[in-house]
Amino acid sequence: MAKVDLLVFDKTSTLTVGKPEVVAVWPLVPGFSEADVLHLAASADRRSSHPLAQSVVAFAARHQLVLSEPTDFEVLQGRGVRAIVDGTTVLVGNAKLLTEYGVEPPRSIGEYEGITIFVAAGGKPVGVLDLADTVQPGAKDAIARLKASGIHKVVMLTGDNRRVAQRVANDLGVDEVEADLLPEQKVEAVTRLQAHGYRLAMVGDGINDAPALVKADVGIAMGARGTQAALEAADIALMTDDLSKIATARALARRSYRTIQENLFAGVGVVHVLGINAALLGWIGPIQAAILHLGPDILVFLNSVKLLRIRVEGAI
Ligand SMILES: [Mg+2]
């Protein structure tokens, strides 16, 4: 870990949260605010257990919206929900749902990268919600800190499409992206980077990351959200899934490595070489030599004990 000069990250659930969140709300009709669109969507969705519906409700809750209780609520598998909110029939779902109810889905606005949810009320589209997987809080800082500690390059590997991957990479300061990868291609990517002479650490969470975690010089698994396979394959597990801990592990590793070097130099190098030479030249007798022989052990212990007292950012 101290000598690693390249970091490889899996994207989904490692650099990103791993579940879609609402990133934008677009009202489509005059007189409808973002809050109105969100209110209708979240009120209709609040009895649905679908993860996307729950993301919409959670987003509304974060914005302190007071929701209405939907009546005549219906989940339409694979399409969305239909409910009556405040006396109006509301549709929340994909284009298929709107078409099914004779509502023309609005043409897309802006840059869609993630998932689009349409909201229709009273038979006409009133808004659009954009959902996307968002980056982990602290991921950007963690990458910046790692680069400052001498990591030359940060690479992201993902099975996701290039456009989504590139957006995440740009947000986080990742240098290189390999997108559209099949699980086995992650190992190939790691092998290829190692062939370029990099010493690399791989960070991942999924079963499909496990082979690459084994292949990497250091494998790091997301401990809490990571799969059992990833945990078993990794050398280091982040128990709190906090990416800044990678920078902490790196700092600890570098400090430990330096201590080992000091110990070898001072203990074995200086004292033994001096002691042997002094004995050969007859400057010291057996008793003094025996005392001198113990010297390095004590030095090494004392120098190593210092590790207990050092403060590394982010470590307990
Ligand atoms: Mg993943």
Domain count for the chain = 3
Q: Do 171 and 219 belong to one domain?
A: yes
Do 183 and 225 belong to one domain?
Answer: yes
Residue type, 204: G
Range of the domain at 63: 19-134
Q: Residue 135 belongs to what H/E stretch?
A: strand 124-135
In angstroms, the CA 271 to CA 76 distance is 79
Residue the block writes with tokens 């590997």: 157
- If asked whether residues 100 and 165 sit together in one domain, one would say no
DSSP assignment of 54-89: HHHHHHHHHTTPPPPPPEEEEEETTTEEEEEETTEE
Q: What residues act catalytically? A: 10
β-bridge pairing 88-93 and 80-85: antiparallel
**Whether residue 66 is found in the same domain as residue 160:** no
- Could you tell me the distance, in angstroms and rounded to a whole number, from the CA of residue 168 to the centre of ligand 1? 14
**Strand, coil or helix: what is 280?**
helix
pLDDT tens, position by position, for the chain (316 residues)? Answer: 999 999 999 998 999 988 888 988 999 999 899 999 999 999 999 999 998 999 999 999 999 999 999 999 999 988 999 999 999 999 999 989 999 999 988 876 555 567 889 999 999 999 999 898 889 989 999 999 999 999 999 999 998 888 888 989 999 999 999 999 988 899 999 999 999 999 999 999 999 999 999 999 999 999 888 899 999 999 999 988 899 999 999 999 999 999 999 998 887 777 778 888 899 999 999 998 888 888 888 888 899 998 888 777 766 5
Q: What is residue 136's DSSP assignment?
A: P
Which of the listed residues 247, 265, 288 is the one where a domain comes to its end? 247
Shared domain for 10 and 148, answered yes or no, is: yes
Q: Write out the DSSP string of 81-130.
A: EEEEETTEEEEEE-HHHHHHTT-PPPPP-S---SEEEEEEETTEEEEEEE
Ligand 1 centre to CA of 17 (Å) is 10
Contact 126/26 with Cβ under 8 angstroms?
A: no
Cα 12 to averaged position of ligand 1 atoms, centre (Å): 4
- The answer to whether 176 touches 168, Cβ cutoff 8 Å, is no
Q: Which CATH number does the domain housing residue 86 bear?
A: 3.40.1110.10
CA of 241 to the centre of ligand 1 (A): 12
Does any domain span residue 218?
yes
Total Cβ atoms within 10 A of residue 157: 28
Answer with the one of 226, 247, 268 that is the final residue of a domain.
Answer: 247
Q: Is residue 316 part of a domain?
A: no
Closest to 37 (Cα-Cα) out of 76, 78, 85 = 85
Under DSSP, the state recorded for 31 is T
* H/E segment holding residue 7: strand 6-10
Of 268, 264, 256, the residue nearest 304 (C-alpha): 256
The answer as to whether 315 is a domain residue is no
Same domain? For 74 and 43 the reply is yes
- Please indicate, yes or no, whether residues 159 and 231 belong to a single structural domain of this protein: yes
Neighbours of ion ligand 1 (CB under 5 A): 10, 12-13, 205-206
CA distances from 221 to 22, 92, 210, 305 (A): 27, 37, 9, 29
Q: What is the pLDDT of residue 274?
A: 85
pLDDT computed for residue 110 by the predictor: 52
Shared domain for 280 and 227, answered yes or no, is no
Same domain, 237 and 276: no
